[in-house]
Chains A and B, each alone.
Chain A
Amino acid sequence: MTPNPTAETARILVEGLAQRFPSPGEGGVLTVFSDIWFTVAPGEFVCLIGHSGCGKTTLLNILAGLERADEGTVIVSGQEVTGTSLDRAVVFQSHALMPWMTVMDNIAFAVTSKWPKWSKADRQKHCQKFIDLVHLTGSENKKPSQLSGGMKQRVGIARAMAIEPQIMLLDEPFSALDALTRGSLQDELLAICAHTEQTVFMITHDIDEAILLADKIVLMTNGPEARVCEIVRNPLPRDRTRHDMHKHDDYYPIRNHLIEFLVNRSVSFKEELSSPDYDPRHPPVVEPRAGAAPAVRVTA
C-alpha cells in the first residue's frame, strides 16, 4: 500500500476548502462544504462519492480553477491554483461540446489552445490519434447532434485527453448513460489511464464504478456543511476488470462499506464529527477487507 503522499510528493493537495453561497433563507449564507482536506498522488485514480447537492461539482470547479474557494487552497504539483490551466483538463457533467463544430473541430479547438503554432497537418494527426483512442474513427465530421449520448461523452474525454494534461478532472462523465454503454466506456477509460499513468479525479454516484476505477475513494457527507467523512482505499488488485471483480473476496466488503456509507453514515455523520478521533485534516483512511470486520482503520 502506498503511504499517503506528503506535501512534496502529492500531485493535488486540498487544504481546508470551504465554499459559501448567498442564500435567500435566514442568515443569508449557505455553506456548501467546509474544512475539506485530502491528497491525490501522481498517477492515482481518485473517485469522489457523495449525495446529490453535497457540492461535488463545486469542489471540482475549484480544483479546475473555474471558481475560487472562500477558504483554503488547492496546490497542484507544488503550485497554488489561482486559475484554470491546460495542465488540468475537465470532462463536464453534461459533455459541453460545441454543437456548431464537428467532432474533429471540437478536439482541434482544444489542441490549438495547447499548441497554437502547430501546422494543420500535425494538429489533424494528433486529433485523429485521440479520436481513434475513444473508438470514434469514422465520425470525425459529424456534429454532436448526430451522435449518441455515449459517443458525445467519448468526444468530451478525447478532447480532455488530447491536450495531454497532468490531471484529468471528470464530473460524473457516465451518469447519464445506460448501463451497457457506461460499462464499455469505463473499460475504455481504465485502459487509457493504465496506458498513460494519468492522475485522475472523478466524481461519481455509482459504487461499482468507483470500485472498478478508483485506487482511493473520498466519501463526502451530505450538505450543507459537507465534510470528507472517510477515505477508502480499494483493496482489489489493479488488474481487476468489470467481469471478474465481483468474484474477488474483498469485493463485497468494500461494496457493503460504501453502501452503508451512502445509506446511513452520510446522514448520521454529524455524530461522528463530534468524536475526538475525527480530525478534518486527516480524515480516517480505511481499507475494507474480507474477514476483518469492522473495516481496518489505517492511520494516515
Chain B
Amino acid sequence: MSLSLRARALIVSITLFFVFVAAWQLSLSTGPGLPEGVDPEYAALMGATAKGASAMPGPLTVGEQIWEHIADPFYDAGPNDKGIGIQLGFSILRVAVGFAFAVLIALPLGFLIGMSPLFYRALDPFIQIMKPVSPLAWMPLALYTIKDSTISSVFVIFICSIWPMLTNTAFGVASVRREWLNVAKTLEVGQLRTAFRVILPAAAPTILTGMRISVGIAWLVIVAAEMLVGGTGIGYFVWNEWNNLSITNVIAAIFFIGLIGMVLDLLLAWLLKLVTYEE
C-alpha cells in the first residue's frame, strides 16, 4: 500500500472506464435483433434497427467519431453541416454574453439589496417567485417580444444566471462581519472605498460561488434552448443529429458538452480559489 490515494483513485477510474466500455460493447453484440414486445410497425419505421443491425453504435465507432471531430473541429459546409468546434463556439458565446449581462445587473443590484435591509425584504418575494421558474418557460415570451431567436436564447441564459448570483451577492454583502465595517468606519473610509476594499473582498467567495452555480445552470440550459430555437449551437447539433438518426454523433456531442461544462466549472473554481481567504 505504498501508492498514494490519488494514484489508487486513478487506477480505479481507468478500470471502471474499461469495464464500462466492455459492457457497452458486449451488450451490443449479444443483444436480440428485435426486442420482445416491440410493435413491428414501429420497428419498421426505425429502419436499420428492424433489420437486426443495431443503430446503437459501439464504443469504437463513437471513439472514431470523436476523433474525427477533434481532427477537424472548425469546417463549415453550409447551415446544417458545421464542425463541432463551431457549434460549441456558438453555445459558449451565447452563454458568455448572457452571463456577462447577468453579472452586470446582479452584482450592483445584489450589493444594493445586501446593504439595505429595506430592499432585502422588499425584493425578496419577487426573487423567491422568479428563482424556481424554469428559464425555458421564458422562451415564448422572449421570442414574442424580442423576435430574434439568437437574442432570445441569450436572454434565457441571462435570466437563468441572474438568480444564483443575485441571491449570493446580496447574502455575501449582508453578512460581511460587522467588525470589518466598524474598522472602516473608525478610519473614516469613504463609502466607495469601503465597498471596494472591504465589502467586495469579504463577499467575493460567496459571490463567486454564486457565479459558479450560474455558469453550471447556464450550460445546462443552453443545450435545451438551442434545441428549441435551432440554427446553430451544440443543442441544435444534437437535435439535428437525432433527426439524422446519427446516434454516434449524439453520443459524441454528449461527450463534448460534458467536457466543456467541466472546463467552465474548473475555470470558476480556480477564480474562486483566488479570492478565498482563510480566517
Contacts and interface: CB of A to CB of B under 8 A. Distances in A.
Contacts of B180: 96, 98
Contacts of A21: none
A98 B187 contact: no
A89 B186 contact: yes
A94 interface: yes
A113 interface: yes
B201 interface: yes
Contact of A143 (B177, B197, B201, B278): B278
Contacts of A110: 187
B189 interface: yes
Interface string B10-42: 000000000000000000000000000000000
Interface residues of B, number: 19
A96 to B, nearest CB: 4
B122 interface: no
Given A85-B188, A88-B186, A145-B278, A109 B197 contact: yes
B186 A94 contact: no
B183 A86 contact: no
Contact of A84 (B177, B185, B198, B279): B185
A99 B198 contact: no
Interface in B257-279: 275, 277-279
Contact of B186 (A90, A100, A143, A144): A90
B192 to A, nearest CB: 13
Interface of B: 177, 179-180, 182-183, 185-189, 197-198, 201-202, 204, 275, 277-279
20 contacts: A65-B186, A66-B185, A85-B188, A86-B187, A88-B186, A89-B186, A90-B186, A92-B183, A96-B177, A96-B179, A98-B198, A98-B201, A109-B187, A109-B189, A113-B188, A113-B189, A144-B279, A145-B277, A145-B279, A163-B187
Interface of A: 61, 64-66, 84-86, 88-90, 92, 94, 96, 98-100, 109-110, 113-114, 143-145, 163
